[in-house]
A = this chain, B = another copy of it.
Amino acid sequence: MKFKLLITAAALVALAGTATAQVKPEDAIKWRQSGYAFMAWNMTRIKMNVEGAAYNKDEVIKAANAIQAVANSGMGALYLPGTDTGTGWEKTRVKPELWTNKETLGKVATAFGKEANEMAKVAAAGDAAATKEQFGKLAATCKGCHDEFKIKQ
């Protein structure tokens, strides 16, 4: 146990120079779970607007801007060494492949960022049909990452 902690500490020291160096693994896990859950709220809001009877342009813009900001916040920094297991709000469901399959990770992360930025642009324009189409593209990138890197419940 002590040895494992030392390895983790060494891995964290390797990150010195970035602000993440001082972050506790359980906080990193909690914060990334929070980012995803916060996006889930905003995805739900957009979904309700494009599938419901009424389209509230302002609410969709707020939701899309929130998702865009989370997508561009650099959450990759929360996948610190030592956070492949552990508990934040709940036990992490990340797969070990996230740390080994860098090529796929890069692809799904890039796709998500691209569609999240596009979602904000489309929302700002205020066309419900275009928003619905872009919402589908964005949701597909969420699923694409979950399929690769999130353990199913």
A residues neighboring B (CB under 8 Å) = 17-19, 22-23, 27, 30-31, 33-35, 37-38, 40-42, 44-45, 48-49, 52, 54, 56, 59, 62-63, 65-66, 68-70, 72-74, 78, 89-90
Copies in the complex: 2
Asked whether B66 lies within 8 Å of A18 as measured between CB atoms, the reply is no
Nearest 6 CB-CB pairings of A with B: A69-B69, A31-B41, A19-B48, A34-B37, A89-B89, A34-B34
Q: Given that A17-B54, A37-B31, A56-B18 are known contacts, is A62 also in contact with B66, CB under 8 Å in the complex?
A: no
Asked whether A78 lies within 8 Å of B31 as measured between CB atoms, the reply is no
Asked whether A31 lies within 8 Å of B38 as measured between CB atoms, the reply is yes
A-B pairs with beta carbons under 8 Å apart, 19 shown: A18-B59, A19-B44, A19-B45, A19-B52, A27-B41, A30-B37, A31-B38, A33-B89, A34-B35, A35-B38, A37-B89, A38-B70, A42-B73, A62-B72, A62-B73, A65-B72, A65-B73, A66-B70, A66-B72
